[in-house]
Structure 1
């Protein structure tokens, strides 16, 4: 698999990584430690060298599983782990992103991952007020100077938060970017390229909508965010189907299938993201091992044609832009 710099002069990582929000489990179901190890092993066998996680994923079990996995392969190819902190705060407010809490979050992640230094830590979609809070970023910089973390950045809901964060010394931004979320290309990507800040594309398959496997009869578990958060009842609406109305998304997906002449959109959705040179990596998730090898196929496709790239934008403009573009 091709490798790209995580950020300017940063480590080289595979352009397709592994997202671990649902590592070893489907959304809303109990954590399965054995399946988590199977997923991580499959990622290793497919050459993946970037794993994205967070302290809150599966109540810390995602980090614990990754820590155990790394211990089993001490002599293998270097795997870069990106973790996130902040969403464990309750209430999740800007005031909570203070020196004491952030330092504790980092220490806890170090313990769960069984590491002496974290490769990269991202503030986990904090309230917008945090992006003007010097104490937060000074704390991250001090943790870097102390050797607790090698680099830091932010995961954002809104493009403007990412732009604001680049006023500080961040190395990377994680942002929702997919065929249903084109806004980051307008301001965020050019500025990140100019500053040497890496871009990690998250929610690349729009919560599965861009797999091409769903239809109007598809149902999800009662605790699955695709059932419970369609209108932002639990957290930001943009995390679920990228903020796209499900039935509207299905209409757009039907046209995408026609454009790419396939029922399986996964490799094309991932390749489309990788066609943007500003992107350091894309991090599709996997709840079971077979999904990992399916995701990797995106890196194996030849470059998309100008006609295909234009077609995606036309479908976005027709179905998605009006309801999504200005919201994030």
Structure 2
């Protein structure tokens, strides 16, 4: 495994992280504690130390699975990143909660679910600019940093070209940007990444496998079940993406190299990117993701 400093923080994160949206049940299956433990154990075995989750991945369900695991392990082995801003109601249904009082309540609920006294990276989660431009929110969050509940603040931008929130990072003491970035979606390279470089912000690339399309497992015409979030994607757009994936696999991926590993390494070869945070359904996928570090 390889490690990089996350922006101007003192966090040295593995270049491959573990994304855990799937633990919330919106990727076509439910997870038991044993299954979550196996995924996280495999990550630790391979040198992964970064876990990314959110309060709205199943109403703190993902956090609770992680917390139960962390509670039986060494907390210091892990860098925990979670997010705030959305209250989960049922699968694919959320409402925004970005007011200062509501966010503190979310923070306390996340700390309880994660069974920890502090969160390493607490991220504003894909909220609108109007919610971001709330001085009271950031003043309250920075007080939580001073109180030791949060080590560092971050911003997970909803639009991968949200320059407004990225440019304001230094002002609000946000040290990292989480953004959609992959071989099919390179928009951050134009404006967001240069701003991150100017401010020495860490960059976490989410959806680095383009919702699994860059795994190379799916062909044009693939159909996803109603419990899988990809069922909600536009069918024609999905078909076009999968046709492009076939072209990339044919023309860009070296012979004998696993496409998913190649796609993750492709993101990491951009020096602005600190780490990728792919999801994984089982320990075998964690192992496949980790192999990407060998290609960087």
* Fold match (TM-score > 0.5): yes
1:131-169 deviation digits (Å, cap 9, x = unpaired): 222122112111111111111111112222442442421
Change (3 A) 1:24 1:298: farther
Q: Which residue of structure 2 lines up, in the alignment, with residue 81 of structure 1?
A: 80
- Is 1:253 aligned with 2:245? yes
RMSD: 2.0
Q: Which residue of structure 1 lines up, in the alignment, with residue 186 of structure 2?
A: 182
2:35 and 2:129 mapped to 1: Cα distance?
A: 36
Give the Å deviation of 1:30: 2.7
Is the CA contact (8 Å cut-off) linking 1:24 and 1:287 kept in structure 2? no
SS of residue matched to 2:8: coil
SS of residue matched to 2:23: coil
Is the CA contact (8 Å cut-off) linking 1:52 and 1:81 kept in structure 2? yes
TM-score by length of 1: 0.82
1:156 and 1:86 mapped to 2: Cα distance?
A: 12
Q: Which residue of structure 2 lines up, in the alignment, with residue 126 of structure 1?
A: 127
Structure 2: state its 5+ residue gaps. none
2:234 and 2:137 mapped to 1: Cα distance?
A: 31
1:128 and 1:269 mapped to 2: Cα distance?
A: 31
1:181 and 1:9 mapped to 2: Cα distance?
A: 27
Change (3 A) 1:56 1:24: closer
TM-score by length of 2: 0.90
Aligned residues: 287
Deviates further, 109-118 or 210-219? 210-219
Quick check: which one's strand share is greater? 2
Give the Å deviation of 1:229: 3.7
1:213-250 deviation digits (Å, cap 9, x = unpaired): 1012422121211112438xxxxxxxxxxxx9111112
Is the CA contact (8 Å cut-off) linking 1:131 and 1:165 kept in structure 2? no
Is the CA contact (8 Å cut-off) linking 1:87 and 1:125 kept in structure 2? no
Is the CA contact (8 Å cut-off) linking 1:50 and 1:82 kept in structure 2? yes
Structure 1: state its 5+ residue gaps. 232-243, 304-328
